Amino acid sequence: SSLLPKTVLWILDCINSECPLCLPGLILFFYFVLYLFLAGMFSFCMYMMLLTLSPYTPTHRDRVSPPGVMIRPYLHGFTIAFNVSEPSTWKPYVNSMHHFLQAYNNNVQEEKNIECQAGQYFIQDGAESKEKKACQFKRSQLHSCSGIEDPTFGYSTGQPCILLKMNRIIGYRPGYGTPVSVDCAIQKGNASALRSVDFYPGNGTFDLMYYPYYGKLTHVNYTSPLVAMHFTDVKKNDFVPIQCRLNGEGIVSDVNKDRFLGRITFTLSITM
Amino acid sequence: GLTSARAAEILARDGPNALTPPKSTPEIIKFLKQMVGGFSILLWVGAFLCWIAFGIQLAQGVSSAFDNLYLGVVLALVVILTGIFAYYQEAKSTNIMASFSKMIPQQALVIRDAEKKEVPAEQLVVGDVVEIKGGDRIPADIRLIFAQGCKVDNSSLTGESEPQSRSCDFTHENPLETKNIAFYSTTCLEAFLPGTATGMVINTGDHTIIGRIASLASGVGNEKTPIALEIEHFVHIVAGVAVSIGVLFFIIAVSMKYKVLDSIIFLIGIIVANVPEGLLATVTVSLSLTAKRMAKKNCLVKNLEAVETLGSTSIICSDKTGTLTQNRMTVAHLWFDNQIYSADTSEDQTTQSFDQSSQSWPALSKIVALCNRAEFKPGQGNLPIMKRVVVGDASETALLKFSEVVLGDVMDVRKRNRKLAEIPFNSTNKFQLSIHETEDPNDKRFLLVMKGAPERILERCSTIMINGEEKPLDEERAEAFQTAYMELGGLGERVLGFCHLYLPEDEFPDTYPFDTDSMNFPTSNLCFVGLLSMIDPPRSTVPDAVSKCRSAGIKVIMVTGDHPITAKAIAKSVGIISANSETVEDIAKRLNVPVEQVNKEDARAAVINGMELKDMTAEQLDEILINHSEIVFARTSPQQKLIIVEGCQRQDAVVAVTGDGVNDSPALKKADIGIAMGIAGSDAAKNAADMILLDDNFASIVTGVEEGRLIFDNLKKTIAYTLTKNIAELCPFLIYIIASIPLPIGTITILFIDLGTDIIPSVALAYEKAESDIMNRRPRHKKRDRLVNEQLAVYSYLQIGILQSIGAFLAYFTVYAEQGFLPYTLLGLRVNWENDYNNDIEDSYGQEWTRYQRTYLQWTGYTAFFVSITIQQVADLIIRKTRRNSLFQQGLFRNKVIWVGIFSQITIALILCYGLGSVTALNFTPLRVQYWFVAMPYAILIWVYDEIRKLFIRQYPGSWWDKNMYY
């Protein structure tokens, strides 16, 4: 027993004690020690677990792919309703678009990102930790939906622009060599309600050069490529449900439970 | 007799001649009681909150609204199913009774319209004249108008087993004492009945004496069993914790600016997590398993909860006859040649080993065999002698069996010594006599044999046989006789004297006409041969059982209608009064002082006479019950049993009472556990009792006590096991609310643990063997030794429960981290995470997730959390096998059912995870194999930690650690 450190002896003494005065304190002390130990063990385990993770790529990516789809403007739902003659009804959408497109301003893109060769994946070899270059996606590429010529993105004329964005997935190469394209259609009802949509850039495709994505840590200035949809002739004064889909190899857009996987549904309600 | 028309009239007025069965609760009420008892109310509240939330969310168009509808339905189903289960269990144990009360409809021979008719006994009315033959049950209370040698067995009414003669004479004012009334449900004995008896019905149905007692019994309230109180206490604790945590976090959630609706949903989660939904069903199953085990050991339990009541019994008030004794007279001692010999009185004797070499013995054995009218019923040649049925009274039966054992075929002996004349026993002569030819063809003398009350026999003797020779009966020899007679009488035995005389050949030639009326033969100056004494001997297993009771801290009190001396003798021989204890009277005798001068506290034992008890106040009775540890109540009426039981209950004791007569039923009802005799017991007693002893054997009660104690210990383990994971189910909700992380485990998943993986293991703990000799400790104190005590709750909730939660959270964080959501990203993520419109939430790596992808990940988290709890529950199950001993002392494989439990647990988890992983409503996903092992270190830690706990408990008994950590 002489080999036991003094603290152990003291703890054993405490355990064996019957002194009633020190009891409440002893209980508190006991739980303090126990929880301290558990907290320590938990931290240690978490630390060990985090050590096994790569800071660049998640261990598993099976749940995040294939990609989902989102649109801008995004306020609080998927119904975009406004009255052309009342700017206050569409102003929030326009502001949201402007805010979103800040990162795509030509000068920002030119300053931070490089020009890449279109039509092929921009694969950057080398160490995983090396900082990756990002390709320029200039706001001007969105043409009439860039908000440069028409700062109201067509909302003031009843021809709203909507931006479509494919969710980022590390290492994902959409289309397997063929660019993924976007098309839109009336989801239910009369097809004539949606007579014409213009897509930018390049007829509504996501160029291969923006892929693959290398992750937040190394692909610092990466900006997701966008497809702008200019609804130039939509039935007015009515709710028009529109579904836009991604088309391309490896894209899944028919899962019942996930209505945002490879497709998105929103409603346009433009009042003149 | 009556005319049929008049009888029908009276029948319409008085109702049928049957006892109204005790008012039973309507089935629907019983069922509804199950629906609202225990945790059901809490779960109903949860279900209704769910439906309210569903209604509101549906109106708001929230996509997950239907989840709440389903959850509400599931909760309601859980309540209904467990309710049905409990109801079914209860109904099943009631059915056990149904088989007992199934009575063959009794017929009565009644004179109506001046004709003898057989009618069902139910249709008897007051004024009917009925005929009774031997062996019949008396169909109603009747006044005898003609009776010849009629004897009745009133044991079912009064508990007295002595047959009582009945005649037409009015002998007493009290209807219970007078000889001309025979009571409903008593039996008319066959053996003494040469003629028939005729009587007039004076009371029917509930108006009979038996009916009045039965209604008295149903008036005695049914109190809650100790285990029911314990479970109530436990439900209060858990419900208290659930409601207070629920309300606390409701307030916290509201003050953290959560929407009220969300807060209500949190509240539901907290309730579901806190309530061990499967536990009450598990307890019922455990109890019924024990009940089954007890039934195998001859204790049939009517009311499941009585299983445990027996275990906490601290006083057993036992009958003597049939319970402690074999309920048959047996020759216990012999006296001849001035010497007392002991005979074997065990149940399965085949030979007698006392010294039979004396010359006097053949003479004595011949008298015993010949002077006896009892006979074996024919056709039982291959049965053991002790089991054969005999026609004859108790003493004669004992003597017949005794001589069959020592001599061989008695019938043959009687045939060889042909009987010529006989005077049967009657109460004026107090002797029985017969005259026989001898079996020796050369000996032409006749042999006169006689037996009877020893003092009467001795009076008729002038000589005494010593070593085969007739010696004059001088004063010294008479003194020796008196000493032996007193000694045997002091043992509480019934003593008979035997004598004989060889009639001289010249006076009594071959053709001599013996006439029993004129008694033309000598009946004095006979030769005294010996004494035989008989007793209803204790069952051979009883002394052992009584000493077990004693070491188990259970006080055994004998309550009997018998004579104090017999009662005391049996009490001594079975150990209810131990060898070295004395009663006040014994001390007085030893010290030669008057009884009043003896200090009552010096006497451990007490023999209380029913007459004394009658004059006692409640305080005096209490004093006796407290001061004496070994008590015998003799000459008590069955009504006094109730007083004794109440006295014991005033000492806070849990009282078990045995009984068989109808008169016992109030005491059986009043007792914490009433034990009726399966063989000798009347239906009324069986109805009033909680348990039925199939073999009427006291020793079976003791095995029942053992089982009862074991199940109490094991229920503790089951509850500790079940409560532990509640914390692991609760913590996720609390952290979800406070830290706003995605929900770690869903309510449906929790239900799958509570009602899926955990059920079989918790039942398996009921099969656990005792850790130490549970019959060596005192019975638990009703109010102090709780089923769920503070230590159990604290150890399960705050130590193992927290450990489990941590292990499960590790798995949860691992799943999210490996998919891209590092732990710090999760904090505060909840609102965005649960936003249906936000389909591009960024994880720690910059990837973007749709709502459904997140939901699926959340379910993976649920599954990982679920699997981790399951894995740690395996460890929890293993540590719960013992509370004090090391697992290595208990043995890992002694209880095989535990392994069935573990196997089932893991199989169910595998099926849920991989088999049903594609059914989205269940919220399970096929989990990567490695996640099954994340919580493994914690499972091992749980086991190591508990071993250390147990080690310190064993090392430092009575210490701070022992007091705080032993549950």
Q: pLDDT tens-digit profile of B727-779?
A: 999 999 899 988 999 999 988 899 899 888 999 999 999 999 888 888 888 88
Q: Of B582, B99, B640, which Cα lies nearest the Cα of B319?
A: B640
Mutation pick from B60, B731, B840 vs chain A, by most beta carbons of A within 10 Å, is B840
Q: What is the distance in angstroms between the CA of the first residue and the CA of the last residue of chain B? A: 72
Percent of chain B with pLDDT over 70: 95
Mean pLDDT of B644-653: 90
Residues 6+ apart with CB under 8 A from A21: none
CA-based radius of gyration for chain A: 28
Residue B130: pLDDT band (50, 70, 90) is: confident
Q: State pTM to two decimals.
A: 0.83
pLDDT reported for residue B102: 46
Q: Could you tell me the pLDDT band of residue B529, with boundaries at 50, 70 and 90?
A: very high
Classify residue B372 as exposed, middle or buried by CB count within 10 Å of its CB (0-12, 13-18, 19+): buried
Assigned token pair, B133? 């033959």
Peptide bond into A212 cis (omega under 30): yes
Using a CB-CB distance cutoff of 8 angstroms, which residues of chain A are in contact with residue B811?
A: none
Chain A residue with CA closest to B842: the answer is A168
**Best interface-test mutation with B: which of A260, A266, A267 has the largest number of B CBs within 10 A?**
A260
Say what the pLDDT of residue B191 is.
44
With a cut of 60, say whether residue A18 has pLDDT above it.
no
pLDDT range class, residue B84, cuts 50, 70, 90 = confident
Residues 6+ apart with CB under 8 A from B685: B659, B660, B661, B662, B664, B665, B668, B674, B676, B677
A264 contacts on B by Cβ (under 8 Å) = 839
Chain-chain contact of A169 with B852 (C-beta, under 8 angstroms): no
**What is the nearest CA distance from A252 to chain B, expressed in angstroms?**
13
CB pair distance less than 8 Å for A169 and B847: yes
Q: Which of A15-19, B481-485, B851-855, B892-896 has the lowest mean pLDDT?
A: A15-19
Lowest model confidence (mean pLDDT) among A10-24, A50-64, A97-111, B656-670: A10-24
Highest-confidence segment of A60-64, B141-145, B798-802: B798-802
| Rounded average pLDDT over B544-554 | 90
CB A248 within 8 A of CB A208: no
Helix (H) or strand (E) holding A109: helix A106-112
Average pLDDT over residues A170-191: 89
The distance of Cα B648 from the centroid of its chain, to the nearest Å, equals 18
The predicted-structure confidence for B160-216, as pLDDT tens digits, reads as follows: 656 777 877 787 777 777 888 888 877 776 544 444 678 888 888 778 877 777 666
Whole-number Å distance between alpha carbons of B157 and B145: 22
Subunit contact A61:B820, Cβ cutoff 8 A:
yes
pLDDT of residue B961: 85
> Torsions phi, psi of B110, nearest 5?
-125, 150
B163/B830: higher pLDDT: B830
DSSP 3-state of A83: strand
Give the strand pairing for B339-342 and B375-376.
Answer: unpaired
d(CA B788, CA B785): 9
Whether B556 has a pLDDT exceeding 50, the answer reads: yes
Give the closest-approach CA distance of B760 to chain A in angstroms.
Answer: 30
- Find chain A residues with C-beta within 8 A of B837's C-beta: 74, 76-78
User: Which of B843, B852, B956 minimises the CB distance to A258?
Assistant: B852
Give B285-311 pLDDT, tens digit per residue: 888 888 888 888 888 888 788 888 888
Which whole-number Å values give the CA distances from B422 to B36, B436, B532, in the listed order?
A: 73, 9, 21
Q: Nearest-CA distance from A17 to chain B in Å?
A: 6
This model of the complex carries an ipTM of 0.92
Cβ atoms of B753 and B866 closer than 8 Å: yes
Q: Is A244 exposed, middle or buried (0-12, 13-18, 19+ CB in 10 A)?
A: buried
Lowest mean pLDDT among A61-65, A153-157, B247-251, B598-602: B598-602
Name every chain A residue with its beta carbon within 8 A of the beta carbon of B822. 50, 53
Selection from B261, B248, B254, B255 nearest residue B68 by Cα: B261
pLDDT at B95: 59
* CB pair distance less than 8 Å for A38 and B803: yes
B708 within 8 A of B307, measured Cβ to Cβ: yes
Name residues 50-69 of chain A within 8 A of B (Cβ): 50, 53, 56-61, 63-64, 67-69
Distance (Å, whole) CA B100 – CA B682 = 10
**pLDDT at position B64:** 72
In three-state secondary structure terms, B748 is helix
Hey, of A35, A56, A63, which one would you mutate to test binding to chain B, going by the most B CBs within 10 A of its CB? A63
Identify which has the larger pLDDT, A10 or B70: B70
Contact criterion met (CB below 8 Å) for B322 and B558: no
The predicted structure's pLDDT at residue B951: 92
> Position A127: which residue type?
A
Give the burial string for B621-636 (b: 16+ CB within 10 Å, else e). Answer: beebbeebbbbbbbbb
* Residue-wise pLDDT tens digits, A44-96: 999 999 999 999 999 999 888 889 999 988 887 889 999 999 999 999 999 99
A16 chain-B contacts, CB cut-off 8 A:
956, 959-961
The closest alpha carbon to B332, from B345, B321, B322, B351, belongs to: B345
Contact B845 A58 (CB under 8 A): yes
The pLDDT value recorded for residue B196 is 66
Tokens matching residue B469 = 């020779």
Query: Which residues of chain B have a CB within 8 Å of the CB of A167?
Result: 839-840, 847-850
pLDDT tens digits, B309-334? 888 899 999 888 778 888 788 898 99
Q: d(Cα B166, Cα B157) in Å, to the nearest integer?
A: 15
C-alpha to C-alpha distance for B608 and B635, rounded to whole angstroms: 8
Q: Which of B917, B743, B729, B940 is nearest to B831 (CA)?
A: B743
Averaged pLDDT score across all residues of chain B: 85
pLDDT digits (tens, 9 = 90+) for B606-621: 899 888 888 888 899 9
Q: What angle do CA B626, B631, B636 make, to 5 degrees?
A: 115
Contact call for A49 and B851, based on CB within 8 A: no
Q: Which of A14, A49, A69 to mutate to test the interface with B (most CBs of B within 10 A)?
A: A49
Q: How many CB pairs lie under 8 A apart between chains A and B?
A: 136
pLDDT, one tens digit per residue, over B922-964 is 889 999 999 999 999 999 999 999 999 999 999 888 888 888 8
* HSE, side-chain direction, 13 A CA sphere, residue B919: 10
Cβ of A45 within 8 Å of Cβ of B937? The answer is yes
- Is the separation of the CB atoms in B436 and B419 below 8 Å? yes
Chain A residues touching residue B850 (CB < 8 angstroms): 68, 167, 258, 260-261
pLDDT at A224: 92
Q: Taking CB atoms and an 8 Å limit, are B960 and A61 in contact across chains? A: no
> Which residues of B participate in catalysis according to the annotation?
319
pLDDT exceeds cutoff 80 at B654: yes
| Portion of chain B with pLDDT greater than 90, in percent | 25
Residue range B12-16: average pLDDT?
83
Amino acid at B55: G
Q: Please say whether the beta carbons of B879 and B795 come within 8 A.
A: no
pLDDT in tens, B246-288: 899 899 888 888 888 888 888 888 888 888 888 888 888 888 8
Q: Cβ separation of A64 and B853 shorter than 8 Å?
A: yes
pLDDT band per the 50, 70, 90 thresholds, residue B848: very high
Contacts with B191 (C-beta within 8 Å, 6 or more apart), sequence order? B134, B391, B392, B393
Contact B960 A18 (CB under 8 A): yes
A21 touches chain B (CB under 8 A): no
Q: How far is B662 from B675, CA to CA, in rounded Å? A: 13
Instruction: Identify the CA nearest to B538 among candidates B507, B582, B569, B503.
Output: B569
Q: What is the DSSP letter of B920?
A: G
B40-67 burial: b if 16+ Cβ within 10 Å, else e = bebbbbbbebbbebbebbeeeebeebeb
The mean pLDDT value of chain A amounts to 87
Range with lowest mean pLDDT among A61-75, A200-214, B372-386, B847-861: B372-386
User: What pLDDT, in 10s, does the model give residues A197-241?
Assistant: 999 887 889 999 999 999 999 998 899 999 999 999 888 898 999
B905 compared with B8, residue with greater pLDDT: B905
Q: Which of B81-95, B468-482, B872-886 has the highest mean pLDDT?
A: B872-886
| Amino acid identity at B455 | E
Among left, alpha and beta (phi > 0; psi -120 to 50; other), residue A255 is: beta
Q: Is residue B38 over pLDDT 80?
A: no
> Which structure tokens are listed for B441?
């063809």
